[in-house]
Amino acid sequence: MPEPHAIALFAAAALALLVIPGPSVLYIVTRSIEQGRTAGLVSVLGVHAGTLFHVGAAAFGLSAILVRSAALYTAVKWAGAAYLVVLGVRRLATRAAEPTAVAVARTPLRTLFRDGVVVNALNPKTALFFFAFLPQFVDHRRGSVTSQVLVLGAVFVALGMLSDGTYALTAAHLGSWLKRSRAFRAVERYVAGGIFVTLGVTAALAGSKPSRD
């Protein structure tokens, strides 16, 4: 187990990073505005199920392989970017419902969860975070490094769900008001789709390839 003060320092640093909006937060906010609180919270669960993938990868050394392999890093980076763009294009292609419609087509919760998992699992920046940042709080003299990484990863996931859950609830509350706006209904699909496409393009262009040893 990490020392208590190491866990506290890690939690403070992780929370400072988590509250800064990034691709995952924007994904959650967009889903919350579109479909409300339940959809937003399911998206949070999906995103952090994807985070668990990176926790396991860091604990068992897969992040090191990803960072050291330029080809693998690039493949994951482009796969994640392409998935975001596909989500955006699909949203742009969905026709807005008429204001008088009785029911509005909604994305199934299992699909929202799946998309959240994929968006975060295919985010190489998350892998780089766990590879470069988390090990600073691991002390090999305190026993199994794998166990310490898993504990710190669990702390990160818990804080992430708290932070992102707050974003989801806030966005869902504002979304109820925005959905009553006729002007918002007219542009909503373009805003949501544009956000996803922009996230994909940004993910594709951001950062550089890791160097080979």
Q: Sketch the domain layout of the chain as residue ranges.
A: 23-205
Rg over alpha carbons for the chain, rounded to the nearest Å, is: 19
CA distances, 181 to each of 26, 96, 98, 118 (Å): 21, 13, 12, 32
Question: What does the angle CA 176 – CA 200 – CA 52 come to, to the nearest 5 degrees?
Answer: 80
Q: What's residue 102's pLDDT?
A: 38
Q: What's residue 162's pLDDT?
A: 94
**CB neighbours (10 Å) of residue 125?**
15
What are 61-102's pLDDT values in tens digits? 766 666 677 777 677 667 767 877 887 787 777 665 544 443
**How many helices (H) and strands (E) in the chain?**
9, 0
Q: Do 160 and 59 touch, CB atoms closer than 8 A?
A: no
Q: What's residue 18's pLDDT?
A: 77
What are 115-130's pLDDT values in tens digits? 999 888 887 667 767 7
Q: Do 130 and 58 touch, CB atoms closer than 8 A?
A: yes
Q: What's residue 105's pLDDT?
A: 58
**Residue ranges of the chain whose pLDDT lies below 50:** 98-104, 208-213
Rounded to 10 degrees, the C-alpha dihedral 187/189/193/194 comes to: 0
